[in-house]
């Protein structure tokens, strides 16, 4: 076998390795660009729409709450239930944020769904009530339907004009709450949308 033939044979594996390496790099770039993107996550049709106009009974006393009372405030509307494990995980973050933003015109509303009122009250007695914080009972699932709820926990953010500007599907956390509320208060709500932090639960 002459020297030229030897060179040809020895160069073939190098081209194969180079080709495979190029494919790996290209695929790596593609997957890296998709990392963190949930293909099942679709934007909520409510983003950019007026918040539903509803009246619901308060959870803790015999009066009704109207969503129209939120006009002029930034609102955080959190759907929860006593049997929801992720709701327990996020509860303290919501309570702390309600206290931190109370002087900035931010109102927190907790909507109990698919649950008994006394179980909801036990949940609050155990984990603590937010101050200030409004707790209401979605007894007939009217709010759940109007907000297009997928499960609990889910949290909707409403600007001062009454427009739904953001949604978190899954439990919220302190950095996410802070970043979202700061964006709304600074007039940068256009950058918000739907964020998925985990799976929601249904009964």
The CATH number covering residue 108 comes to 3.40.30.10
- Quick check: 150 pLDDT over 70? yes
Q: Where are the alpha helices (DSSP H) in the chain?
A: 3-34, 85-100, 117-127, 142-146, 174-185
Query: What total number of domains does the chain contain?
Result: 2
Q: Which residue has the tokens 């129209």?
A: 68
Q: What is the mean pLDDT of residues 127-140?
A: 94
Residue 110 lies in a domain: yes
Residue 82 lies in a domain: yes
Residue 144 lies in a domain: yes
Residue 48 lies in a domain: no
Residue 81 lies in a domain: yes
Q: Are 74 and 181 in contact (CB under 8 A)?
A: yes
Report residue 43's pLDDT band, with 50, 70 and 90 as the boundaries: low
Summarised one tens digit per residue, pLDDT across range 51-98 is 999 999 999 989 999 999 999 999 999 999 999 999 999 999 999 999
Report residue 28's pLDDT band, with 50, 70 and 90 as the boundaries: very low
Question: Which residues, listed in sequence order, are joined to residue 50 by a DSSP beta bridge?
Answer: 163
pLDDT at 202: 86
Judgement on whether residues 8 and 88 belong to the same structural domain of the protein: no
Contacts with 172 (C-beta within 8 Å, 6 or more apart), sequence order:
78, 90, 93, 94, 153, 155, 197
More confident residue, 10 or 200: 200
Residue 151 lies in a domain: yes
Judgement on whether residues 79 and 142 belong to the same structural domain of the protein: yes
Integer angstrom CA distances of residue 140 from 16, 46, 54, 82, 201: 65, 21, 12, 17, 18
Judgement on whether residues 147 and 93 belong to the same structural domain of the protein: yes
Residue 183 lies in a domain: yes
Judgement on whether residues 150 and 183 belong to the same structural domain of the protein: yes
Summarised one tens digit per residue, pLDDT across range 9-18 is 444 444 433 4
Judgement on whether residues 113 and 24 belong to the same structural domain of the protein: no
Judgement on whether residues 95 and 3 belong to the same structural domain of the protein: no
- Quick check: 1 pLDDT over 70? no
Report residue 194's pLDDT band, with 50, 70 and 90 as the boundaries: confident
pLDDT at 76: 98
Instruction: Report the share of the chain in percent with pLDDT over 70.
Output: 78
Residue 33 lies in a domain: yes
Q: How far apart are CA 138 and CA 57, in angstroms?
A: 8
What are the counts of helices (DSSP H) followed by strands (DSSP E) for the chain?
5, 8
Look up the domain containing 62 and give its range: 55-196
Report residue 4's pLDDT band, with 50, 70 and 90 as the boundaries: very low
Question: Which residues, listed in sequence order, are joined to residue 112 by a DSSP beta bridge?
Answer: 80, 137
């Amino acid at each position: 076998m002459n020297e030229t033939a030897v060179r040809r044979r020895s160069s073939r594996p190098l081209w194969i390795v180079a080709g495979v390496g190029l494919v790996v790099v290209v695929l790596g770039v593609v997957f890296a660009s998709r990392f963190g993107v949930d293909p099942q996550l679709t934007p909520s049709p409510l983003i950019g729409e007026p918040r539903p106009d509803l009246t619901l009974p308060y959870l803790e006393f015999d009066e009704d709450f109207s969503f129209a009372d939120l006009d002029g405030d930034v609102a955080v509307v959190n759907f929860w239930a006593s049997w929801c494990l992720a709701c327990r995980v996020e509860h303290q973050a919501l309570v702390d944020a309600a206290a931190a933003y109370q002087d900035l015109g931010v109102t927190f509303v907790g909507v109990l769904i698919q649950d008994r009122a006394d179980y909801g009250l036990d949940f609050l007695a155990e984990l603590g009530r937010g101050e200030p914080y409004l707790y209401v009972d979605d007894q007939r699932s009217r709010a759940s339907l109007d907000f297009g709820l997928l499960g609990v926990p889910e949290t909707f953010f409403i600007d001062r004009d009454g427009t739904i500007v953001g949604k978190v599907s899954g439990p919220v956390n302190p950095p996410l709450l802070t970043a979202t509320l700061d964006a709304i208060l600074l007039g940068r709500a256009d950058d918000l949308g739907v964020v998925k932090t985990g799976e929601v639960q249904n009964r």
